[in-house]
Amino acid sequence: MSVTPASEPQEWYQTSPQRLEWELAEFAARGLPAQAEVASTGRMRITTSLPFDGEPVEILVIFPFEYPDVEPTVYGPPGLVGRHQTRVVGNFCLIEDPRLDWWPTMSAAGLVDEDLRWLLEDSAAGATAVAGGEADMPEPLSQHIAVDHSVVVVVPDPFWAIELDAGHGRLVLAEAFLSNSLVVTEADGIGHGEAAALDVVTNAKKARHAALWVALGVGALPLWPSHVELLDIGLAAWPELLGKLRETLKRERKRASVSGFVGVTFLEEGPRRGDTRRGWIFLDVELDRKGERSVLRALRAQALTPAERARRVPELVGLAEARVAVVGAGSLGAPITSELVKAGVGHTDLLDYDRFDVNNCVRHLIGPRWAGVEKEIAVAIETETLNPFVKVAARHIHVGGGQDDQSRLGLILPEVDLVVDATGSHSAARVLQRRCRDHGKTLVLASLTAGSYGGEVAVFRPDGPCFWCFVLGQRDGSVPSPAEGPRSNTTPVGCSTPAFSGAGFDATALAALAARTVVQACGRTSYPSLESDYIIVNFRGPNPWRQGNLQVHPECPLAH
Ligand SMILES: [Zn+2]
């Protein structure tokens, strides 16, 4: 059997030359010159021109391989305008909203004649006009410095403080835990990195590198500085910035040159337009015996801080103060815990009492390496790596077990905002509902049906309808029940250790819903509050999602 080699994919202007003709006609219709040529890369490019401040400037449009599904990129002379143009290569930021600002029926001529023309007119008119026409996004200086994207420098607090007690000094960079990225662990005059953040990203076995840092004054920097300009301005601020490299050259006489990092920090725009924040750039500098210096590459900083997390989930701010007990570290409790940790719940108590079965990897958060380990410990360790700013406490407690378990549960309950029952056990749910009511705590129940055909999430307030009311309502049909699979295949280990079958993604989908309910029920955030007391989910069949409010059931054995 012979295999026919796939033919080389062709450029868009080869497969649809009429599209190129149309593009050129669009330029002509708008009175714009257009010179088309194929670059050495094979990409089609059209050279045109637009007026800027009364003078014509050359504009280059480069069409990507997947044009017109992918939009063209428009370039001008680097440094033409102060905002919305990269300093180094000169491409303009014309597409603010990719879903609206480019559509394959649009032409590159239109991008140039409309979007770019407006930007150039606004830029010529001044900063106010540019600000009026732009999206509400900052233009931080550090984002305009060309960097090596394969390595980042993780920077925890307190190195982001706006006010620094020193202007320069020593800096220590540790190698990151898994990658060749770096982490700032301490800096003279600023302090030590926050221990929780460092614990997650560094490893005591990895190397540490001594470096130096300097703060640049406001106004010391040109609009978009080059690497060498950054270094020279840093040296002007502190002539000893390359002192470490000079010492190494003195000590290691055989070396012709040495290289190492210097940290340069400055104030820049961000995180929102018009705001001020601290920026960091790390320069990998080479110094030779003649005193010649060059910058090998620049690295960008990534903040590992609670404030930077909060900017990505502003509705979840407030969860740092929350404390939640999750009962059950199984295929529901583990992903519930991981979602709460990611969301930023400050303290999670995770309760379980048995050990991990490797075959539960089919739907569990943790892998076979945790075989035989107590589940609450394994899940606490794994989930704590997701967010260095929260605590997950493993609690070896069997809810529904003996007196010891009961008393240890009694120590936790007064401390938590609410309790999540992810055990899938009615007896555990009954114990938890009684204990939660005793302590005035809300109970959130999450459970899956046989085969994970469906599931339910329900909220029981200490003074409202209870778990009994919910179960009795489902029995008489006043509360809907989720779909159930056949019970025949639910005990692969043996009837003394019931284990159910069902897809992990269904468990995780219900866990996400339960975590959302927990955040809504704890009431510490601006995330929308609860819409209902229960959600019944079917992962197959009609009625995928039903929700409603509970009533006290007339036959409830609790005296409501
Ligand atoms: Zn009741």
pLDDT digits (tens, 9 = 90+) for 21-57: 999 999 999 999 999 999 999 999 999 999 998 899 9
CA distance 385 to 365: 13
259 within 8 A of 284, measured Cβ to Cβ: yes
**Per-residue b or e along 15-25, where b marks 16 or more CB atoms closer than 10 Å to that residue's CB:** eeeebbeebbe
- Strand 55-62, strand 73-75: pairing: antiparallel
Question: What does the pLDDT read at residue 133?
Answer: 62
| Phi, psi dihedrals of residue 482, rounded to the nearest 5° | -75, 160
CA distance 548 to 458: 10
Instruction: Give the mean pLDDT per block of 10 residues along the chain (560 residues).
Output: 67 95 97 96 96 92 95 91 79 80 92 91 76 69 89 97 96 90 96 93 89 90 87 96 93 93 94 91 96 96 96 97 98 98 98 94 94 97 96 97 96 98 95 97 96 96 96 97 81 58 94 98 96 96 92 93
CA 526 to ligand 1 center in whole angstroms: 30
- End-to-end CA separation in angstroms for the chain: 78
CA 473 to ligand 1 center in whole angstroms: 10
CA 265 to ligand 1 center in whole angstroms: 61
Instruction: For residue 487, give Cα distances in angstroms to 361, 450, 490, 492, 499.
Output: 21, 6, 6, 12, 11
Containing 301, the helix (H) or strand (E) segment is strand 293-304
CA 554 to ligand 1 center in whole angstroms: 8
Question: What does the pLDDT read at residue 27?
Answer: 97
CA 536 to ligand 1 center in whole angstroms: 19
CA 530 to ligand 1 center in whole angstroms: 20
CA 395 to ligand 1 center in whole angstroms: 29
CA 61 to ligand 1 center in whole angstroms: 69
Neighbouring residues of 529: CB distance < 8 A, sequence distance ≥ 6: 520, 523
- Alpha helices, DSSP H, located in 385-503: 403-412, 426-438, 467-476
CA distance 166 to 169: 8
Closest to 321 in 3D by CA, of 347, 348, 349: 347
CA 453 to ligand 1 center in whole angstroms: 26
- Strand 347-352, strand 391-396: pairing: parallel
CA 552 to ligand 1 center in whole angstroms: 6
CA 436 to ligand 1 center in whole angstroms: 13
CA 325 to ligand 1 center in whole angstroms: 22
CA 426 to ligand 1 center in whole angstroms: 14
Closest to 268 in 3D by CA, of 94, 145, 185, 405: 145
80 within 8 A of 224, measured Cβ to Cβ: no
Question: What does the pLDDT read at residue 496?
Answer: 56
CA 407 to ligand 1 center in whole angstroms: 25
Question: What does the pLDDT read at residue 158?
Answer: 97
339 within 8 A of 512, measured Cβ to Cβ: yes
Cα 277-279-282 angle, rounded to 5 deg: 170
Neighbouring residues of 425: CB distance < 8 A, sequence distance ≥ 6: 400
CA 466 to ligand 1 center in whole angstroms: 4
Q: Is 349 exposed, middle or buried (0-12, 13-18, 19+ CB in 10 A)?
A: buried
CA distance 348 to 326: 7
CA distance 417 to 423: 19
CA 212 to ligand 1 center in whole angstroms: 66
CA distance 418 to 438: 13
CA 468 to ligand 1 center in whole angstroms: 5
CA distance 121 to 53: 8
CA 476 to ligand 1 center in whole angstroms: 14
CA distance 225 to 382: 42
Is residue 101 classed as helix, strand or coil in its secondary structure?
helix
Question: What does the pLDDT read at residue 495?
Answer: 55
Question: What does the pLDDT read at residue 43?
Answer: 95
Closest to 519 in 3D by CA, of 529, 507, 509, 533: 529
Q: 50-56: list long-range contacts, CB under 8 Å, 24+ apart.
A: 50/112, 50/116, 50/117, 50/120, 51/120, 52/80, 52/120, 52/123, 52/124, 53/124
pLDDT, one tens digit per residue, over 462-519 is 999 999 999 999 999 999 999 999 876 555 555 555 567 899 999 999 999 999 999 9
